[in-house]
Amino acid sequence: MLTYNTLRNTQKRPDRPLYRRRRNLQKRHFVLMALILIVWLVQLLPAAGACYARYIYPTIARVLTAVSDLIPFAVGDLFIALSIAWLVVWPFYARLRRKKPWRRIVGREVEFLLWIYVWFYLAWGLNYSQPNFYQRTGIAYTAYTPENFARFTDDYIEQLNASYTSIDTIDTDMVRNEVVRGYRAISPALGVLPPTTDRPRAKTMLFTPLISMVGVTGSMGPFFCEFTLNGDLLPADYPATYAHELAHRLGITSEAEANFYAYQVCTRSSVSALRFSGYYSILFHVLSNARRLMDEAAYQALVESIRPEIIRLAEESQAYWSAKYSPLVGAVQDWIYDLYLKGNKIDSGRQNYSEVVGLLISYEMYQTYHDTLEGVS
């Protein structure tokens, strides 16, 4: 028997799923907008950025790292690849097979990108809003001059030559243990977080051949707080590259600062392979700055003062990577990454890598000043 209540319920049923979907969509959009506002608030308030980097990020990193370490491959690389594939394929599938209107298709993709945006910044990217090296350490910035650069290079080349050792193979466990020990030693004084685990895991890049085409030796995977190393990495580059990428995992966003910390950790090691890798890691940055600041005669004299074995190693390394490099793919990657860095408060873009020399000069001047004060007292 068809009663009034039965008829009323029957008429309402088709609307309930649609109503629930709309309510869920509203809730999802509300949460998304709230998270975006939190990201913007942290970016606007320096104190909030410092708080995130010092107190919130370590917990987030610990959780995400515990998850990603359960997976043997670089899950972040796969996530990025699948996300790009979805963004490309979804519009065609939605339009041709499911007959969705373009407004809904575009809206879905925009929402997906916004979730990626939120995930990136909450998981790691808000570290771009923390105080810089000079603010964290209280070390004064030293103006970059030809005179103090010349003093720095004289000492650097002497240390580089003295540290030289042939590196044919790499003990990855030894490198990991030494680098962790090094970061824990410098953490209190140099404004970097100590490692949260004794065994930070470096994964091999999932798309190593493609990555070698753009000349990238390592990367930080922000979505799962994992760092990856290029599978083609040469033995002499491995320790410093591992230390550089671990600096990113510890919340350091500046490429110059990551180079600085890798240099400090490796050159202070008692293991000769790490010490040389540390000094060698900034050689091209030193020479790049020297070419700009020195006249031709002084530059040639500097190059000639480097041990022939090191020059030969540098030339072989350059030839090795040049054979894998694709000018077209590399140029596109350089352009994108330059925009990415500038969009995240690294105004110098890709030039930021070479600014490690300025950090080292400032730090050495700071050490010299304090050593002088201690001598007087």
d(CA 337, CA 231): 21
Task: Please give the average per-residue pLDDT across 95-104, as a whole number.
Answer: 86
In one letter, which amino acid is 181?
A: R
User: 356 with 285: CB under 8 angstroms?
Assistant: yes
Q: Could you tell me the strand order of the sheet in which 218-221 lies?
A: 202-204, 226-229, 218-221
Lowest mean pLDDT among 10-19, 298-307, 332-341: 10-19
User: 262 with 221: CB under 8 angstroms?
Assistant: no
User: Pick from 224, 229, 270: which is nearest to 246 by CA?
Assistant: 229
Q: Is the pLDDT of residue 363 over 90?
A: yes
User: 125 with 344: CB under 8 angstroms?
Assistant: yes
Q: What is the mean pLDDT of the chain?
A: 88
Phi, psi for residue 348 in degrees, rounded to 5: -85, -5
- Which residue did the predictor score with more confidence, 127 or 341? 127
User: 278 with 267: CB under 8 angstroms?
Assistant: yes
- Token pair in block for residue 216: 């990238």
Cβ neighbours around 116 below 10 Å, total:
15
User: 361 with 149: CB under 8 angstroms?
Assistant: yes
Q: Is the pLDDT of residue 255 over 80?
A: yes
Q: If you search the block for the tokens 């979730």, which residue do you land on?
A: 115
Mind listing the pLDDT tens digit for each residue in 8-45?
Answer: 555 555 556 666 777 777 888 899 999 999 999 999 99
d(CA 166, CA 147): 32
Q: Is the pLDDT of residue 160 over 90?
A: yes
Lowest mean pLDDT among 74-88, 154-168, 352-366: 352-366
- Token pair in block for residue 279: 């000094």
User: Pick from 172, 196, 219: which is nearest to 74 by CA?
Assistant: 219
Mind listing the pLDDT tens digit for each residue in 84-96?
Answer: 999 999 899 888 8
Residue 7 banded pLDDT, cuts 50, 70, 90 = very low
Residue 305 banded pLDDT, cuts 50, 70, 90 = very high
- Which residue did the predictor score with more confidence, 22 or 258? 258
Write out the H or E segment, with its range, that includes residue 108.
Answer: helix 102-123
- Which residue did the predictor score with more confidence, 308 or 334? 308
Residue 335 banded pLDDT, cuts 50, 70, 90 = low
Cβ neighbours around 206 below 10 Å, total:
18
Lowest mean pLDDT among 8-17, 176-185, 311-320: 8-17
- Token pair in block for residue 359: 């950090």
Whole-model pTM: value is 0.89
Q: Is the pLDDT of residue 3 over 90?
A: no
Mind listing the pLDDT tens digit for each residue in 199-242?
Answer: 999 999 999 998 898 889 999 999 999 999 999 999 999 999 99
- Token pair in block for residue 274: 């790490």
- At residue 347, the 3 state secondary structure works out as coil
